[in-house]
Amino acid sequence: MDSLLGGGSYGVVVRVYKAGCYYAMKVYFDEYLTRKGQGICLAALLFQRETEILRSIRHPQIPAYIDSFEYKNMYCLVQEYVPGNTFAELMNQGYQSSEEMVKDIVFKLLKLLSFLHGPMDTRPTIIHRDLRLSNLILSDKGLFLIDFGLAYRMQNSTDEALLAKCRLLKNASSSYVSMRNDLTVQSDLFGVGVVAVDLFINSVISDVSTQWEEVVPISLPFKTFIRKLLGVESCFASCTEAIDQLRLL
């Protein structure tokens, strides 16, 4: 192990070094899950599910699957290491976004999600379900999406059963929890809206309300676009529809 990269409710991510290369390794173990209040979720099942999902994805903006193995009751998932910072880290360092910068990030994220939402011969539709600043890395090579621990494979009963047990955001508002736990593309569209707002004000969890609109100095068309991502009045049917609308702004 070279250094700790991060940690969440289900596992820790460390940087490891082997044969002249760095890799990112996510480690699941039951003791950690219990400490995080997720004891009902078994590390082995979470590990197996995320491994299967990552093995089915090939995209330049998603760190590639490298290997997976078990070691002393720890389940290790190895991926390509992407040097850079998450947007959460950048915000803590004083990063500030203009409207055009956020539009560009939202556009790239929607394009990536459109790829995941489109079923292929080798995999079903995949809903990420955990879009947030800490799961987006900005590097010299562009924008990267990480952490598929809460992802859902459409019409997969095994995923549905496990995700019903492993729910986060217990202290969040009911509307936020409902959208995050949704098993449709609306969860990801909502997540893109949350990312857009957070890039301006770095507010993470709140009811969908007009509060953010009062403090974010952006144009009315883009504000209306974000409201539609969040499903305040109406919602987009797909990422493709959202992309088409964004192109007009």
CB-based contacts of 197, cutoff 8 Å, min separation 6 = 203, 212, 216, 226, 230
Structure confidence by residue, pLDDT tens digits, 63-118: 999 999 999 889 999 999 999 999 999 999 988 889 999 999 999 999 999 999 99
> What are the tens digits of pLDDT across the range 195-232?
999 998 864 444 445 578 888 889 999 999 999 999 98
**Digit-coded pLDDT (tens) for 57-70:** 999 999 999 999 99
Taking residues 122-147, report their average pLDDT: 95
In this prediction, residue 166 carries a pLDDT of 75
Read off the pLDDT of each residue in 123-138 and give the average, rounded to a whole number: 95
Q: Give the model's confidence band at 169: pLDDT under 50 very low, under 70 low, under 90 confident, else very high.
A: low
> Could you say which architecture CATH assigns to the domain 3-80?
2-Layer Sandwich (3.30)
- Mean of the pLDDT values across residues 128-153? 95
Tokens of 37: 């209040």
Q: What is the pLDDT of residue 179?
A: 85
The domain 85-247 is classified under which CATH number: 1.10.510.10, 1.10.10.10, 3.40.50.720, 2.60.40.10? 1.10.510.10
Where exactly are the structural domains of the chain? 3-80, 85-247
Task: Say what percent of the chain tops pLDDT 70.
Answer: 91
